[in-house]
Chain A
């Protein structure tokens, strides 16, 4: 079965630096890959989606890359801020009608 691996250890970053989170998957590549943010006690919030034929996507301070050879996606937050502290979830979808499979998330902490 498909597995999604995200670093279970919390990532601590100094404010202003770039935070990079990793998502690795096994087996075949998804049609698209999504990143969500989840704050404590809240549901996940959609951030970015990247398709398998896209290498990179940007939205404001966020950048996502997708390498189907490495079976990996990287999620970058540039000029990080304490408000960026949250858990970030990677999710895979194999077709427009299929379910989304979530990773367990990586907790990011930005210190002032």
Chain B
């Protein structure tokens, strides 16, 4: 298993500003992911954070809006840039682990973002 922490747990931001969310894992992992979950909605994958290379973004998400860093195997950051009220959501970090030949994901507690 893995224990994942995220900072901040919540924030209220003004439109046009940027927020960087940190994700820390208690062990070295290869796969780290960033998701967004809007109220009552499914989790939507933003990108896969790759250590030592650029993140891989899903359709509808771009690096200029959601820059991601992955400086090592235990840490990643997601920045939400030039925020608008539509960016209000919960942002979740997760890691993929292979346990008993089965790949599962462990999630952080999430960062609740409100943009005014």
Q: Report A's interface with B, CB cutoff 8 A.
A: 4, 32, 34, 41-46, 49, 89, 93, 96, 99-105
Task: Given A43-B92, A43-B110, decide whether A49 and B102 contact each other with a Cβ distance below 8 A.
Answer: yes
- Would you call A46 and B109 a contact (CB within 8 A)? no
Task: Given A43-B110, A89-B43, A105-B42, decide whether A99 and B102 contact each other with a Cβ distance below 8 A.
Answer: no
The 4 closest A-B pairs by CB, nearest first: A43-B107, A104-B42, A102-B43, A46-B104
In the complex, chain B residues 64-116 whose Cβ is within 8 Å of any chain A Cβ: 92, 94, 98, 102-110, 112
Other-chain residue from A46, A96, A103, A105 in contact with B106 (beta carbon distance below 8 A):
A46
- Would you call B110 and A41 a contact (CB within 8 A)? yes
B75 to chain A, nearest CB (A): 17
Chain B contact surface mostly: strand
Task: Please indicate the chain B residues that have their CB under 8 angstroms from the CB of A102 in the complex.
Answer: 42-43
A104 to chain B, nearest CB (A): 4
Q: Does B50 contact A (CB under 8 A)?
A: no
Q: Does B45 contact A (CB under 8 A)?
A: yes
A79 to chain B, nearest CB (A): 25
A106 to chain B, nearest CB (A): 11
CA distance A99 to B41 in the complex (A): 18
Task: Please indicate the chain B residues that have their CB under 8 angstroms from the CB of A41 in the complex.
Answer: 109-110, 112
- Would you call A44 and B41 a contact (CB within 8 A)? no
CA distance A93 to B33 in the complex (A): 14
- Would you call A99 and B45 a contact (CB within 8 A)? yes
Task: Please indicate the chain B residues that have their CB under 8 angstroms from the CB of A103 in the complex.
Answer: 42
CA distance A68 to B116 in the complex (A): 45
CA distance A105 to B109 in the complex (A): 17
B49 to chain A, nearest CB (A): 13
Residue of B nearest to A50 (CB): B102
A14 to chain B, nearest CB (A): 25
